[in-house]
Amino acid sequence: MAESQEDKLYKAEYAKSGRASCKKCKENIAKDSLRMAIMVQSPMFDGKVPHWHHFSCFWLRAAAQSTADIAGYSDLRWDDQEKVKKAIESGGAVGGKGDQKGGAKGEKTLNDFAVEYAKSNRSTCKGCDLKIEKDQIRVSKKTVDPEKPQLGLIDRWYHTACFVSNREELAFKPEYSAAQLKGFNALRAEDKEELKKRLPAVKTEG
């Protein structure tokens, strides 16, 4: 059992002291607060070491797809297990300092999806393996490279059409919409409208 825990990409626990600092914001993580780690291959020995983060900072750098990816999850208090589950379900969108609730829920920016105009013609679409031309709209699913988890989330770019056709496989859930993509507000008005038509939130009856 211990071995399978060691193989997981992430780890969760309550801070044993107040000495560890967050790898994202560099601030100390308070003793007994919930902290989350990206597990990174140690350069010193054959094993992994945790890169600890505050709970809210963790989701800006990691993309846990399931609680099964997180060592120590079952040892957390029930309310913290629910907090982790909600963060996974919302694509890593956690309330943060303001912790908006209620009406804002549907429009939270998704941390692991982004859209922008291609800065060069060097990127390759992960869907069709063809080049994405400069200034063309490209959509990314941010993922952690298992070989280099210390880099945190990195963009895997897609043509809009390729992203749309792979929507389900990329875990862009039915309730998500184009307006929640990071960078959406920087697009031109006509491009926003086009993207909203192609990536609408799909209402689920229930």
State yes or no: pLDDT of 165 exceeds 80. yes
Q: Which residue has the higher pLDDT, 2 or 47?
A: 47
Q: Are 94 and 87 spatial neighbours (Cβ–Cβ below 8 Å)?
A: yes
- Its domain, for residue 21, covers 2-89
Residue 103 domain flag:
no
Residue 49 domain flag:
yes
Tokens of 52: 């600890």
Task: Read off the pTM.
Answer: 0.55
Q: Are residues 27 and 59 in the same domain?
A: yes
Q: Are residues 114 and 192 in the same domain?
A: yes
Domain CATH number, residue 65? 3.30.1740.10
Q: From CA 202, how far away is CA 197, in angstroms rounded? A: 11
Residue 203 domain flag:
no
Q: Are residues 116 and 161 in the same domain?
A: yes
Amino acid 81: pLDDT: 93
Residue 112 domain flag:
yes
Per-residue pLDDT of 47-90, as tens digits, reads 888 899 999 888 887 878 889 989 999 999 999 999 999 888 77
What does the mean pLDDT of the chain come to? 83
Per-residue pLDDT of 120-161, as tens digits, reads 998 999 999 999 999 999 999 988 776 776 677 788 999 999
Number of domains comprising the chain: 2
Q: How confident is the model at residue 18 (pLDDT cuts 50, 70, 90)?
A: confident
Residue 98 domain flag:
no
Q: How confident is the model at residue 116 (pLDDT cuts 50, 70, 90)?
A: very high
Tell which of 62, 89, 116 closes a domain.
Answer: 89
Ranges 19-28, 105-114, 156-165, 177-186, most confident: 156-165
Q: Are residues 30 and 78 in the same domain?
A: yes
Amino acid 79: pLDDT: 92
